[in-house]
Structures are given as structure tokens and as C-alpha cells.
Amino acid sequence: MGSRLDRITDWDDRARKAGYRTAVIALEAGVSRRQLNRYFHLRHGVVAHLWIERLRIDAALRLLQQGRLIKEIAFVLGYKNCTHFSRAFRRVQGICPTHFIPEPLAVVELSSTENVQKWSQMFKNGQPSSLRSEAPPEQPLPMFKERSQRNHV
């Protein structure tokens, strides 16, 4: 038994145009939200809202990899605020969106062979020597005092 919803093939585009809202998608498809959820559950194994959330997070991943700001991504994808976006992202991906932000590439001016030799020496062990810890801190920070040193009242 076929459904008239089977004739719709552009669910991704419809979701984007509807602002990722199931009620709008159902209205445009001419069905109730309940019918839309039943259809998605049968065809995709999840209800429409979860399928749309996954689609939204996939779009967020692409934008994060392009170096877009989290605030911008939240706005573009229709989240109320950054916190709402981060919570949804963490629910789907298991980690927060900042883990997917690409690291900026270091810009190095190599104007002479001396600089090339200096940088190759620094990266000899896979990490610049300027980033290696030369000596441990002499005293712990005051906020991290041993439990016995804390004032108890």
C-alpha cells in the first residue's frame, strides 16, 4: 500500500524551506503532524522531528568545518540561541560543537634558509620546542590548595 507521501522526494529541501519545523512540513505536504510522523517512522525508522534534527546537525557540521561562528550557525539554522543549538548538537553528536571547529593554520615567514633550519629544529620531535613545558610551576595556584590547607569553618 503506497502513500501519497512516497511521491515526495525532496524532503531535505522542504525541511530547509520550512525552517526545520515539522508542523510546516506537514502542512505543505497536506497531512497532519501525526501522519507525517507515522510515515517517517515507517520509511526512516525515526519520527519526523528526529530526522529533521539529524539533518540540521549535519548542516551545522558542514558550516563548522567551513570555519563559521557558532552564533552564526545557530542563527542560520533557526535555533533560538547558541545554548539551544549546542544542546541539540551535543544530544545528536555526543560532544559539543566547539570540538569540530578546525584549528587555524600557523603562518610562518620563511625568508631565509636560517629560518627553515630553525623551524625544522623546533619541529624535530613533532612539537615546537617553544610549546614544550620547560619547567613545572614552582608552587600550586592558591585556589588549588591541598585539602588539609583549606580553612574549614
Model confidence pLDDT, tens digit, residues 14-44: 999 999 999 999 999 999 999 999 999 999 9
Stated pTM of the model = 0.62
Q: Is residue 37 part of a domain?
A: yes
Domain that holds residue 69: 4-100
Secondary structure element (H or E) that encloses residue 26, with its range: helix 22-29
Contact 67, 102 (CB under 8 A): yes
pLDDT of residue 67: 87
DSSP E strand boundaries for 56-116? none
**Tens of pLDDT, residues 97-117:** 988 877 664 444 545 556 556
Residue 136 has pLDDT above 50, yes or no: no
Q: If you average pLDDT over every residue of the chain, what do you get?
A: 77
- Residue 123's H or E segment, with its range, is none
- Please check whether residue 59 lies inside any domain of the structure: yes
Q: 135 lies in a domain?
A: no
Q: Is 74 exposed, middle or buried (0-12, 13-18, 19+ CB in 10 A)?
A: buried
Counting the structural domains of the chain, the total is 1
Q: What CATH number has the domain bearing residue 31?
A: 1.10.10.60
